[in-house]
Copies of this chain bind each other. A is one copy, B any other.
Amino acid sequence: MTDPSELGGLATPAAIVDVERMAANLDRMATYVERHGLALRPHTKTHKIAALGWEQIRRGSRGLTVATGPEAVVMGDVAPNLLLAYPALGGGRLDAIRRLSPSIELDVALDSDAALEALSRAAQAKDRVVGVLIEVDAGMHRTGVAEPEEMLRLAQRAGALPGLEFRGIMFYPGHIRQAVEEQAAPLAAVNELLQRYLDALTSAGLSTAVVSGGSTPTAFQSHLVQGLTEIRPGTYIFNDRTTAAVGGCAWEDCAYTILATVVSTAVAGQAVIDAGSKSLSREEIRAPEGTVIRSAEGRIGPATGLGALLDRPDVVVKATSEEHGLLDLSGTDWRPQVGERVRVVPNHVCVSVNLQLALWGVRGDNIVERWPVAARGWTLEA
């Protein structure tokens, strides 16, 4: 029998966190924001685990960012300050605001009158003040107002509604993740755009106390964005294959893997593992053709497929079905046996974590933690 306190004793697929790599990732970001005088409110959608939120808080994060009601309630246990980076509509997020202690400072980002009105009602019902950030579109064209005039109108309305206080603006340059080789251009564009919004706020005598931006791929360039006061990267705690492909981290900074077992080698040219779309997810990297990922050991892998082996970035998960991952063996002379174990770095760690019941923290081959992924879903289970 295998020792249950070691990696070999885990049933597969299982989500593994290298706690030393994770700590290094957390320390690196804490050092960066301190050096540049930026506030950090990390996005906890990546891990959904209070103990990891606490690791971020104790390293000096001003607060934590959340996207859902359960994330708000779970992170409220460890954070004195929360940013709900999502309008409180649809029920679950309003329920969470009702459950949060009024002693927790809360900001909510939104881009509509309906969201402002719902938030004002929730703040009044709780006899508390909620900060409002108006979301502006920084070029991703997902959410956020498109013009400074609309921002000003909503900001002024926020200031007038009971229970609310206008505190600044939020944007999300998520499109930069999808444009590997154009990082310089979007950054300049974001700067130009942001200036228009900040000028409008200043002219109107409105607060620019919070200017919240930044996601992991561009986090370490945040000091180049003029007027920015805080960033809220999420992925950086673990990193993933997409972050490595866009140059946001080194391959060796990837702290999260799916431990998997080879279950079939019957079809020539491939090996099948027991990690499929239900544990890795099925998100492709949107990178220009020919993008490669380099490890410190000099191994080079393409940025194609749905994941790659931690120790062999040139061995790619070329396809998945629900419980099957197909390792492409065409570019390697490695030939695994049925029963052999591998560790896969997924393309997008946030959606992989969301598929797990729990994450296992390991130090080398020793299991040192088991963290239930507590904040999954959109309502708190009774």
Which residues of A come within 8 Å of B, CB atoms? Answer: 10-14, 45, 67-69, 86-87, 89-92, 95, 111-115, 118, 135, 137, 141-146, 150, 174, 260-268, 272, 274, 277-279, 281-283, 319, 321-324, 326, 337-339, 350-351, 354-358, 376-379, 381
Select which of B10, B91, B260, B322 is within 8 A of A45 by beta carbon: B322
**A263 and B12 contact, CB distance less than 8 A:** no
**A263 and B115 contact, CB distance less than 8 A:** yes
Known A144-B264, A354-B355; 20 more pairs at CB < 8 Å = A11-B91, A11-B95, A12-B92, A14-B379, A68-B323, A87-B338, A89-B338, A90-B263, A91-B261, A112-B265, A114-B337, A115-B263, A115-B338, A142-B321, A281-B282, A282-B351, A322-B350, A322-B354, A357-B376, A358-B381
**B381 and A264 contact, CB distance less than 8 A:** no
**A322 and B338 contact, CB distance less than 8 A:** no
Select which of B87, B274, B355 is within 8 A of A89 by beta carbon: B274
Select which of B87, B142, B381 is within 8 A of A357 by beta carbon: B381
A267 to chain B, nearest CB (A): 5
**A90 and B282 contact, CB distance less than 8 A:** no
Q: Which residues of B contact A135 (CB under 8 A)?
A: 266
**A90 and B268 contact, CB distance less than 8 A:** no
**A67 and B323 contact, CB distance less than 8 A:** yes
- Bound complex: CA A188 to CA B24 (Å): 57
**A283 and B277 contact, CB distance less than 8 A:** yes
A204 to chain B, nearest CB (A): 19
Q: Which residues of B contact A112 (CB under 8 A)?
A: 264-266, 338
**A144 and B266 contact, CB distance less than 8 A:** yes
Name which residue of chain B comes closest to A377, CB basis. Answer: B357
- Bound complex: CA A381 to CA B358 (Å): 9
**A142 and B268 contact, CB distance less than 8 A:** no
Q: Which residues of B contact A324 (CB under 8 A)?
A: 142-143
What are 5 A-B contacts defined by CB distance under 8 Å? A10-B91, A11-B69, A111-B264, A137-B267, A142-B326
Name which residue of chain B comes closest to A267, CB basis. Answer: B141
A378-B264 in contact given A283-B282, A322-B350, A351-B278 (Cβ < 8 Å): no
**A278 and B354 contact, CB distance less than 8 A:** yes
**B89 and A11 contact, CB distance less than 8 A:** no
**B378 and A90 contact, CB distance less than 8 A:** no
A173 to chain B, nearest CB (A): 13
Name which residue of chain B comes closest to A142, CB basis. Answer: B324
A166 to chain B, nearest CB (A): 17
Q: Which residues of B contact A86 (CB under 8 A)?
A: 263, 274, 323
Q: Which residues of B contact A260 (CB under 8 A)?
A: 90
- Bound complex: CA A12 to CA B88 (Å): 11
**A14 and B378 contact, CB distance less than 8 A:** yes
**A114 and B357 contact, CB distance less than 8 A:** no
- Bound complex: CA A358 to CA B380 (Å): 11
Name which residue of chain B comes closest to A95, CB basis. Answer: B11
- Bound complex: CA A267 to CA B146 (Å): 7
**A146 and B266 contact, CB distance less than 8 A:** yes
- Bound complex: CA A90 to CA B340 (Å): 9
A144-B267 in contact given A174-B321, A338-B114 (Cβ < 8 Å): yes
Q: Which residues of B contact A69 (CB under 8 A)?
A: 11
Select which of B92, B111, B267, B282 is within 8 A of A142 by beta carbon: B267
Select which of B92, B114, B174, B277 is within 8 A of A11 by beta carbon: B92
A378-B267 in contact given A322-B351, A323-B68, A339-B114 (Cβ < 8 Å): no
